[in-house]
Structure 1
Amino acid sequence: MMKTEEVIEQERRYLLHIYERPPFVLEKGNGMRLFDQEGNRYLDFVSGISVNAFGYGNFEIIKTIEQQAARLIHCSNLFYSIPQVELGRLLAQNSFADKVFFCNSGAEAIEAAIKFARRWGDTQGRRDRRPRYGIVTMTGSFHGRTYGALSATGQPKFQKGFGPLLPGFTIAEFNDLEAVEKAIKEDTCAILVEPLQAEGGVNVSSREFLQGLRHLCDQRGLLLVFDEIQFG
């Protein structure tokens, strides 16, 4: 087994260095705790960047993965499969949604949401005889590092060096309904908001703000898109 220093050196040699990592190598996990190669224990407050809250070594999860892997690992969404349908039904019956669209990551979900919104806006625009592709997003927001998601993000520090960005996004002040209303233009098709901003500094939207956005979208004929990747 490679020592910690060797792993770090090999990572720097063979992997594209994107993130600054702490100087230890994780080896295993159990429950809420992680263990590195040298036996040090850590209490995991990261949880896979807020998307893996089930802990490590969960027997039921391991058993389910093993059983499914023995039957069918991956066949893409080009084919019907029972687990896919069952999960879709479970999500739809226990959320606001009528239907679901499965993605591989949060950024991919946002890219899909942008495309859905603009596709809907294109249909509405042809009916109204005016283009509708604009999306209002918020200051302090973070929607991902892919191109569309990055363009929608309301923090210039993440966008520096990647211009020109995808056009059609207008940034409004977070938690300020009046500012959002002023940001709506003739070509606007949707409003994109995080109910809880994480990368922006753990900023919580008020109930009045979210309810106001819902009313505003209903009134102006816009889509309201929630980015709940970390909040959910």
Structure 2
Amino acid sequence: MSRIRVAVGLGAVAMGTAWAVGGVAGLRDVVGVLLVAVPALLVLAGAVLLLRAAVPDGQLGGPLMLVGVGVGVLVLRFDVPQLPELSGQAPTALILGGVFVALFRGRSGSGLDIGVRRYTSLLYPRVRASLEGRAPKKLILRALLFGEVDIDLSRCEFPFEARLVVDVTMLWARVRLKVPADWTVLAGRVELTSGVRFHGRLSEPAFASPQPSPDEERTVVVNVQGLGGVVSLTRGS
């Protein structure tokens, strides 16, 4: 309810300002522009909320860039707006944008540490993380459309598990993984990797078993699936 009150209050202030500055005619103009602008802004707000639900925190730059470029091209292709019309609608659009920002609430994490870390890069921004302390038991790395994920575990202690699993999903992108020199690195599921190049060397030229063996220690299993791109493995000193 607090956000609804904020929206109503901001709307009342905006309408009152238009009435005070332009009189009844100015108020009528604002209402006319609202009838055109509100549906478009609702679609935009829905798209942003869908992206926020589907994309991890801090990774909205790439999807929003794609949406913005696509919408801009469609507008210029099918209905080029006239500058006088844009200048008339700009104040109302600015007010509505301010209302949306005022009501926008970022997502907060659950606060639960379940030993799984996820990193995603779609176009931009590129993700770089240098971890310390106890390593997570599982890493989920997703790099899409020229994105880049660079994870450094060289200063980490091995997790309280028999093995550390790294799941990599990529589409014409790049993933770098750096591990301590004394960790064993084996390939897991890497069959679905058309056009993916691999740099670096595994500890053994063999695939990891589905289940850890009793004597297995400090073993990293890398699973890769995707199309195009590069997966690089390096080791610390």
TM-score range, shorter chain: under 0.3
Question: Relative CO higher for 1 or 2, CA cutoff 8 Å, sep ≥ 6?
Answer: 2
What TM-score comes out, normalization by structure 1 length?
0.26
